[in-house]
Amino acid sequence: MSKRLQVILQDPEYREIQRVARSRHMSIAEWVRQALDLARRGEPRGSMGKKLETVRRAAQCEYPVGDLDRMLAEIEAGYIAGSHP
């Protein structure tokens, strides 16, 4: 089900949004929907306490890891060889 959202803007703000939307060949409504979607995706999910507890639990585990100097050398060799994105 769709819902309508009304936002009151000052004329200069509206004109700037209108200009940006036009430059992207979009309606103002579509530009606003995309901007809101991008902003929503940037919001953290879950509680900070739960995230911290997860990190604390993971830090107590012993995971197999390679030698740090060797890993750094392999990473550097990859950069030199041009195999990074």
Q: What is the pLDDT of residues 21-66, one digit of tens each?
A: 999 999 999 999 999 999 999 888 888 888 899 999 998 988 888 8
Query: Which residue is associated with the tokens 């929503």?
Result: 40
Secondary structure letter of residue 47 according to DSSP: -
pLDDT of residue 64: 83
Q: What does the domain layout of the chain look like in residue ranges?
A: 11-42, 48-81
What pLDDT was estimated at residue 83?
Answer: 59
Q: What is the pTM of this model?
A: 0.53
Residue (of 38, 8, 36, 32) closest to 20 by Cα position: 32
